Structure formats: structure tokens, C-alpha cells
Amino acid sequence: MDEHTFQRKMAELIDRIKELPGKPEAAAEASSSADHPENGLKSSIGELQESLDYLRLSVKYLVFDLEATRRENAYLRRLVEQSNRERNGRAESDQEPENGFE
């Protein structure tokens, strides 16, 4: 479920909640239509719970991915630094035999 769908479902749930409390017309409609609004509310709450679960999972994955990227970045930096040290060491050893004994 993407963010747009989540936002839309959240807005629907808020609208349904606003309709429920304190209105005499809503009470009359609720009694005439049996359990329809209640089922709709339960359905909306279930969908909201599903959206929140998906959001939690997405955040956990992003945190995991960020940590893995940081570890990989540190590893690659060490490799580059080691390669630079080796290259500088070879460059220094190539310059040493300037004492005339080549």
C-alpha cells in the first residue's frame, strides 16, 4: 500500500468517525440500517491497522538498509585507504634507488 492510499483511507476513517458521535440523525440511520456503519468502521479500522503494519515494516526495512549501507560504505572506505597506502608505498620505493646503484 503506498502513501497516497494510506492518506485516502485515513481521511475516510476520520470522516466516518466525525459522523458517528452525538447526531440524532446518525443514531436513527444506524438503527434503521442495522450494523452497516459499525461494520464499515470495523473494516476501516482493520484497513488502518494493516496500513500501520505496512508502515512499520517499511520503516524497519529502511533502517536495516541504512545500517547495511553505512557498513558497506565504511568497508569500501577502508579498501580505498588501503589501496592508497599501498600505491604510495610503491611510489616511495620506486623513488628510493637514487643513490646510483640501479
Residue that has been written with the C-alpha cell 475516510 in this structure: 12
- Say if 102 falls within a structural domain: no
Instruction: Give this prediction's pTM.
Output: 0.47
Domain assignment present for 100: no
Torsion over CA: 64, 70, 73, 75 (sign): negative
The per-residue pLDDT for 27 is 47
Residue 3 CA to its chain's centroid (Å): 11
Residue 13 lies in a domain: yes
Would you write out the chain's pLDDT as a tens digit for each of its 102 residues? 677 787 788 788 777 777 776 655 544 554 554 556 678 888 888 899 999 999 999 999 999 999 999 999 999 999 999 999 999 988 777 666 555 555
pLDDT in the model for residue 89? 85
Domain count for the chain: 1
Q: Which domain holds residue 35?
A: 3-94
Q: Is 6 exposed, middle or buried (0-12, 13-18, 19+ CB in 10 A)?
A: middle
C-alpha of 58 from chain center: 4
